[in-house]
Amino acid sequence: MKKVVVGKCKLCQETKKLNFEHIPPRSAFNKETRYYTLKQTNFLQKAKEYVFEELKPKSKKEQGGVGQYSFCEECNGFLGSKYVRTYKKFAQIAMSIIQSNDRNIKAFEFDISDINLLKFLKQITSIFIATNSHSFTESYPELLEFVKDENQNKLPNRYRFYMYLNNEGQIRNGHIHFTNHYGTVCEFTFQPFGFVLSIDNPNRIMQLSEITSFKHYDKIKKVEKLPIILNKYPTYYPIPLDFRTENELKGST
């Protein structure tokens, strides 16, 4: 049983009883996920042992889906009724395409004309809000406004979103990182997707498919076919945008 937690909701900012939030949604392959929680520094020091040499963390294995207490019941219900179904639909399409093809295929083309891309982008944004602390939306309040109003599409250009496919490696937790190479990034990975939110970086992250334009979905939704190409990357180490393969990592010291 999940415990009762009272705290400040990350969406409406009111202090209320919080709901255990499945991140990603329970319906998108996160119902029975078993996982360990591990301090980032500890994982980094022993990444190779944990990932490839069956070192087991000392923490106890958790189950019932990955998530945390982020939103109140009302906000959880709002997200559930507005955005979650769209996310689930795209996740199911992506998962079945990945699974029914050769695992060595590195990129897939999708027709996304029947996905409500604005809702999809808002769901992704809500994941980054849920996985980060309150200071995240204090620094980036436009993200909060974007999620709270289902019709709002005026997200400033300083926020750029990217996605890829994933079915190999570890979960990435969405936490904000300040990197030398990519600037400020949040990366969330959970099969079959990986998402990157890049903040204040004028340069496009070339190895990923940019989906920032999903916010203009109202202008593009009339098209018959809307192709997107998504690369598939492994995520073994908890380093943002590190997509080295198992072989590359095992060969390195």
Which residue ranges make up the site for Zn ion (CB under 5 A)? 9, 11-12, 72, 75
Q: Min. distance of Cβ 189 from Zn ion in angstroms?
A: 26
Q: Give the pair of three-digit tokens for residue 114.
A: 């029947």
Q: Min. distance of Cβ 31 from Zn ion in angstroms?
A: 23
Nearer to Zn ion, 146 or 237 (CB): 146
CB 143 within 8 A of CB 160: no
Nearer to Zn ion, 90 or 146 (CB): 146
Nearer to Zn ion, 133 or 207 (CB): 133
Q: Min. distance of Cβ 88 from Zn ion in angstroms?
A: 21
Q: Min. distance of Cβ 71 from Zn ion in angstroms?
A: 5
Nearer to Zn ion, 9 or 176 (CB): 9
Nearer to Zn ion, 146 or 161 (CB): 146
Nearer to Zn ion, 12 or 205 (CB): 12
Q: Min. distance of Cβ 57 from Zn ion in angstroms?
A: 32
Q: Min. distance of Cβ 151 from Zn ion in angstroms?
A: 19
